[in-house]
Amino acid sequence: MDRRRFLKTATLGSAGATGLAAPAIAQENPQISWRMTSSFPKSLDTIYGGGADVAQYVREATDGAFDIQVFAGGEIVPGLQAADAVQNGTVEMCHTAAYYYVGKSPTWALGGVIPYGLNNRGMNAWLYYGGGLDQLNEFYGKNGLHYLPAGNTGAQMGGWFRNEINSLADMEGLQMRIGGLAGRVMERVGVVPQQVAGGDIYPSLERGTIDAAEWVGPYDDQKLGFYQVAPYYYYPGWWEGNLTLCCFVNQEQWDGLPDRYKALLQSASRAANTEMMAEYDYKNPTALRELVQNGAQLRRYPDEVLNATYDAAMELYSELRESEPDWGPIYDSMMAFQAEHFLWQQVSESTFAQFMQAKQSAGELPAQQQ
């Protein structure tokens, strides 16, 4: 895809100027310079790349007139303060994960992911066609922010453990690096959630300060070498059936943009959303294979653990409906679509996937026959 041409066309068309040549319109584009702070280091190239892609697409589509400089986590503010920096006007926008800010309100998590929520395709469908984007922007707008989905990791892995988990009893007292709503769910089944910065996870596992840690998935996890100190690699990451990354834009700055620049940011964010998922889907299989070759031991969470954490999550959500006035309407909309989404998934998508996975396991795919 020629993204530059696509984004220009999308932007000009939305501005009602499809009959004008792109260079003529580009000359009319006002010069705007913004800063975007990321929650991620450049070393996590795929997840950091979501924000960088948005900035690149916008810059190219406007011939540099709308220039967004991207700064890695820590260069302007710490990664977990990215949204705060946008709210207070330190920067115009950020690239982050909305669930980092559940300390403000648990409702923030709904723009990222919640335990036992939607998968990547379901989240995008709900956001773009099920009214989710409008509902979330109504909520984030109260906090001075405009929300643009801009990346997805897909379903994540379920963490690295020093010892095997054979039953729910093995979770009791476990010191695990996990936060947000997932930490609150884990706490209800006996786990002791711990907040540990990414760079401190490996030494904490090595020393036994923590017993387990969740991160992202094979491609990102491989870089940190967890398999050397916590070899049991569990799946699925039930607390992150997807993770929607996003750009938050300062609401006043958003309102002040020309309509064609707003349309361009929306188109660029959608492109980045697709790009990140495709990149993870391409990179994760190779990384997973290499991790196993180097000693990682794949384990599926026991059904007892999955059922107990599911029940704990549903109990938590019922409580949040009572205590958080903004939670109920957005959550109910998401869950109503979730029921329809997984109904459709099991009819054709899952059936096809299961059949092809069985062929892969049997070594019967074309590439396996060569």
Is domain 30-154+242-282 annotated with CATH 3.40.190.170? Answer: yes
Average pLDDT over residues 9-21: 42
pLDDT of residue 17: 36
Average pLDDT over residues 83-93: 98
pLDDT band at 8 (very low <50, low <70, confident <90, very high): low
pLDDT at 333 > cutoff 50: yes
Share of the chain above pLDDT 70, in %: 93
What ranges do the domains of the chain cover?
30-154+242-282
Summarize pLDDT for 30-73 with one digit per residue, the tens: 999 999 999 999 999 999 999 999 999 999 999 999 999 999 99
240 annotated as a binding-site residue: yes
Q: Among residues 115, 113, 225, which one has the least CA distance to residue 160? A: 225
Q: Report in angstroms the alpha-carbon separations of 57 from 14, 94, 145.
A: 16, 16, 21
Average pLDDT over residues 185-200: 92
pLDDT band at 196 (very low <50, low <70, confident <90, very high): confident
177 annotated as a binding-site residue: yes
Residues whose CB falls within 8 Å of the CB of residue 361, separated by 6 or more in sequence, listed in order: none
56 annotated as a binding-site residue: no
pLDDT of residue 21: 41
Q: Cis omega (within 30 of 0) on the bond before 193?
A: no
**CA atoms 100, 278, 201, 314: torsion sign:** positive
pLDDT at 11 > cutoff 80: no
What is the spatial distance between Cα 195 and Cα 182, in angstroms, rounded to a whole number? Answer: 12
pLDDT of residue 20: 33
Encoded tokens for 340: 């329809």
364 annotated as a binding-site residue: no
Contact 149, 67 (CB under 8 A): no
Average pLDDT over residues 2-28: 48
pLDDT at 15 > cutoff 50: no
Summarize pLDDT for 20-42 with one digit per residue, the tens: 344 444 557 899 999 999 999 99
pLDDT at 257 > cutoff 70: yes
pLDDT of residue 19: 36
Summarize pLDDT for 100-129 with one digit per residue, the tens: 999 999 999 999 999 999 999 999 999 999
Least confident range from 20-24, 163-167, 182-186: namely: 20-24
pLDDT of residue 1: 47
Contact 282, 217 (CB under 8 A): no
Least confident range from 25-29, 92-96, 208-212, 299-303: namely: 25-29
pLDDT of residue 27: 52
Average pLDDT, the chain: 93
Summarize pLDDT for 199-243 with one digit per residue, the tens: 789 999 999 999 999 999 999 999 999 999 999 999 999 999 999
pLDDT of residue 216: 95
214 annotated as a binding-site residue: yes
Least confident range from 156-165, 196-205, 290-299: namely: 196-205
Side-by-side strand order, sheet with 232-235 = 192-194, 175-177, 212-213, 160-161, 232-235, 297-300
Axis-axis angle for helices 327-344, 120-129 (nearest 10): 120
pLDDT of residue 28: 75
